[in-house]
Structures are given as structure tokens and as C-alpha cells.
Amino acid sequence: MTNVHQFDVVVVGAGGAGLMAGLYASRGAKTAVISKLYPTRSHTGAAQGGISAAFGNTEEDHPEWHTYDSVKGSDYLGDQDAIEFMCNEAIDAVLELEHMGLPFDRTPEGRILQRNFGGHTNNITGKPVRRACHAADRTGHMILQTLYQQCLKNKVNFFDEYQALDLLLVNGKAAGVVAVELATGELHTFHAKAVIFATGGHGRIFEVTSNAYAYTGDGAAIVFRRGLPLEDMEFFQFHPTGIYKLGILITEGVRGEGGVLINGKGERFMPKYAPHVKDLASRDVVSRAIYTEIREGRGVNGQNYVYLDARPDSVMKYAAADGRTNSDGSPYTITAEELLKKLPDIVDFNRVYLGIDPMTQMMPIQPTAHYTMGGIPTNKFGEVVIDEKNTVYPGLYAAGECACVSIHGANRLGTNSLLDLVVFGKHAGLRAAEYANQADFANLPDDPTAEARAQFDGLRNGSGKENAFDISREMKKIMFDDVGIYRNEKGMKSAIEKIHEWQERFKHVRISDTGRIFNTELLNAWELGNMLEVSEVIAECALNRTESRGGHSREDFPNRDDVNWLKHTLALKKNGKIEISYKPVIITKYQPKERVY
């Protein structure tokens, strides 16, 4: 057998979670990080607004408030023990990033500067609290750079541009990963005692998305095909403010700095939907509000968009109306120069893609598919758990967006994703190294690359009647329209039928590139297979859940139903069919109540 590598721990994915896992695992065990991209290309780098920690650097704040806000934000579907764990770890996690050199913006006293973000509140007054630590509007970029740099410093082994294709499970234990080296087309087997998936999300199944091309659900699809469950896949977050049509993210930090949403009639509409925190309600609430405005004919020029207004005069006008103050109690003011300094990339994106200047013009925005709340079920140590009793699967770990701890439940609060990947990436890395040091290597299967080869052969030898690009386009449109922000039985049933049709058509795809070197056509087609796989799971789970909660909004079941649905969904593939079971939500301090912002 050629191309077999042996490591104690193999991490798949080199975004924030993968790098953090790699950094921690490599301190205690021989570790490799494999990634289909160069690490600095990972999607963590696109995160903009901040990472939350209840420092209280400019005003009172507490980890308990952060915990409650996240529980409420999750629409009570998040596991409260894990949320509390994350929010308590947040302060040390952000300090660790600072100690690694991350260039956070600073207060006049030299401490980490914090800004407002949706759903983060002072639990006594109910007003927004400054909890999001940031580096301008490129916080994710700085986290990604800093962690990659620290991995280089610590001599972590990287296998850049290696696409993971399969997970090897032998006798109920993780045994390794199969990957293709893009530069040569050769298959490699990574024999490991512990495998950590940190493969990100799958927003590319939707037509309008803020997500990178790389976000095709590879990790979730691989695990699912290997007979392990996925949790809460019906919950997908639509971020309220994507650039119209393009979906490019406009950070919630714009509203954190005082920007407001304006409909086609020139009205600020969020006070109708969230009387207390208005434009800083949680994302599911704001996205639905925008859609409701559009549906009721108050989009701009009858189109599917509204405006985000961050012009300094508007910001100050609405801040005065809201009684917003600086931390010293003085009225909130801001200049174009200050906004430009706080949000340089947002200004840049608007100029490049729309030809507008957000200091003098309003930004046309629409909700954009943004974040995968569901994923590979884990406990708070990053260990993959496979049933309603949370039985740990030996040697298998997941962290970051591909995992479902569940921290985010039915709706993630802004800034909690960066926190998630730092906290749980670290713990997955620690646990995996600890496990690897007392475990033996499982024997590899006789032919470890068989399944990966079979999948590639299928794409090389299809009848050629179908084109992957066309299937992909149809999928994105239908998933966005029928399994998107608003869902109903009729739309989802029809989407599921179509998904089955696409899966059939997919079997007839034949790629035209017969080469080995950087065969990106083969990889893109393989990724489409993953997207079809996760689309089916999402649609089936969404059809099954007959209530509305967080990011899952059923027109035919508009209310949350705690009696029947305060539980996690587990989807499993059995004999080619999706079977759904449930596991309880862990509730410690906070009993579910009505969610008002």
C-alpha cells in the first residue's frame, strides 16, 4: 500500500476549529492537519464582527448573562450545560487569543474594545451590552491568521490542499481518513488513533449565501454515509444582512455601531418586531421581519430587498431616539471617519460590488444563508456522540461549524461561532490527544481507499447525460425558496421529490477532465454529491418538525411547541433511507419561556 501516513491524531479542516484542535493536539500527540484549502483560505477568515466574552471592559457584564442570552437566542434548543461551559470559558479563550498576538481593537485604557451585537443584552435593563471583542470588521481573519501563525510556530504538520473523502471506522472505533492530494490526484490513507472533523458548514446548498465555495458539507456527508447520525439539521441560520443578490455578508456589527433597517417606504421597521432591542434582535427574528416587510409589499421598489442605513446622520438620529449613550453616559455620536475605521471592509465591499458609498448611501440587503446550526453530534469535549444516550464513539471528534454540541440550538447568536470554534476546537484537540495516548491503532481495512475510489469512479464513468453545474443550480434555487427562511409542507415535500430526482440525475454525471493534477471538476462534482446528501437530511428533518423554532419557521405551524418538540432531532441513514429519532435537550437553569426582544 502506498501513501499511508500514521499519526496519533488527524484533524480534517484548517479553519479556526481545526487549527485550534491541531495546536492543542500536537502538544500531546503526533498530529496532522489536512485541509482542502491552504489554511489561510478557510472560511473562518470571512467572519467580521467579533467574538463574545463577558469581560465588561466598558460596562457591566457577566458570563451568566452571556449564557442566558445564548439560551434564549437558541430558542431553548441549546444544551444549557454546554452553553454555560462555553460562556464561562469565553473570557480565557479570548485572552488566550490576545496572548497569541491577536490584534484586537483597544479601549483608551489599552484593553480589548467591545461592541454591541444582536441578542447580547444587559439582563437587568434588557438593553444591548458591549460584549463582542473585535479587530475592525475582520475579526475572523485575524483569528485565522493568528492561529495559523501559532501552528507554524509550534511546527504542526500540515497537509495543504488534501481533500478528505472518507472516514475509516473499524470495529466501532475511528481508524483514519482517506484523502486525495489535489496536486497529484493520488489517494492517501491517514491511519490515526483519533480523528477530529473540523470541516465547516454547508451554506452552498442555498442560492443566496455568505458562505465560501468550500462550504459543501463534506464532513457531515462523510460521517452520515458511514452510518453515524446528524443532529438538528433542520436548523440553518439566515443572516439578515447580505448584499442584495450576491449574499456577501454585511456584519451585524453595522447595526452594533448604530445602523438601522429601513423598508421601501422609508420606515424603520424593527421596533414593530422587537420593541426593546429593535435592530439588534437575534438573527432569526430580524431575517423574518425583513421577509415579512418584503412579502407585505414594503420591499424597496417592489423588489426583494430593504435598506441598511449606516450613514452617520441617520445613525445619530436613531441613537438619539433610542436614548443610546456611550459607556460614560454621554449621547452616542459617530463620524464617517470613525465608521470607516470600525467597518473598513464593509465600506470596501459596498464600493466594489455595488458602487455605493455607505457613508452617503443606504445599502441594499436581503437575508443570506449563513450558518449551519446542526451537524455532527458531540458533547462539550468535542467527542462525537451517536445516540439519544450520548454514547461516545471512540476516537472520533468534531468541532466548529460541522459539529452540533449543541451550543446554538435553533438559532445562533452573532459572535458565538468564533467563540465556539476556539473553545471546542481546543477541547477536541486536548481530548483527542489524551485518548490517542492510551489507545492503540485500530487495524486499517484491507482496502482502505475502496469507498473513495468507488465514489470517484462513479463520477468518471457516468453516462454523461447530466451536467453537475445544472443540477447544482437547480438545487440552490429550490433549497433557498422551499427549505429556506419560511417553510411549509407542500414546498418541502416537493423539494424532497426534487432532491431524489437530482440524486438520480447525479448518477449520470460524467466529468470531462480525465487528468490527475488539480482535477477540480472531479472535486466539485464530488462536493455536489455531499450537498445533495445534506440537502435531503435538512429537508426531511424540516418537514418532520411540525413547529416553528429559531431558524426553522413553518408557515403551517407558526408557533413553538415545547410540549412535543423541545427535543433534538437525530437523523440516521439506514438502507438508503433517513430515519429520525430524538434526544432530550439539557435544561439546567433556564426554563423555556416566550421569547421577546
Q: Are 538 and 203 in contact (CB under 8 A)?
A: no
Using the 8-state DSSP alphabet, how is residue 389 labeled? T
Residue with cell 495543504: 160
- CB 371 to other proteins: min, Å: 15
Catalytic residue among 131, 283, 412, 431: 283
- CB 215 to other proteins: min, Å: 9
- CB 421 to other proteins: min, Å: 16
Q: How far apart are the C-alpha atoms of 399 and 185, rounded to whole Å?
A: 28
Residue 490's H or E segment, with its range, is helix 489-506
As a whole number of Å, the CA-based R_g of the chain is 23
- CB 348 to other proteins: min, Å: 7
- Kindly tell me which of 201 and 229 has the beta carbon lying closer to other proteins: 201
- Kindly tell me which of 124 and 352 has the beta carbon lying closer to other proteins: 352
Interface positions with other proteins (CB under 8 A) = 37-38, 40-43, 45-46, 95, 98-101, 103-112, 135-136, 138, 141-142, 145-146, 149-150, 152-153, 183, 212-214, 246, 248-249, 345, 348-349, 352-353, 467-470, 472, 511-513, 515-521, 524
45 Cβ contact list (under 8 Å, min separation 6): 15, 140, 141, 144, 145
What does each C-alpha distance from 436 to 192, 309, 439 come to in angstroms? 8, 52, 5
**Helices 139-153 and 16-28, packing angle to 10 deg:** 20
- CB 318 to other proteins: min, Å: 26
Grid cell in block for residue 465: 447525460
Looking at this protein, which amino acid is placed at residue 147? Answer: L
Q: How far apart are the C-alpha atoms of 226 and 236, rounded to whole Å?
A: 23
Residue 35, strand partner residues: 160
Pair type for strands 31-35 and 4-12: parallel
CA atoms within 13 Å, Cβ hemisphere of 267: 12
The answer to whether residue 283 is catalytic is yes
Residue with cell 413553538: 560
- CB 236 to other proteins: min, Å: 19
- Kindly tell me which of 36 and 412 has the beta carbon lying closer to other proteins: 36
- Kindly tell me which of 106 and 265 has the beta carbon lying closer to other proteins: 106
- Kindly tell me which of 333 and 467 has the beta carbon lying closer to other proteins: 467
- Kindly tell me which of 304 and 467 has the beta carbon lying closer to other proteins: 467
Residues acting as catalytic residues: 283
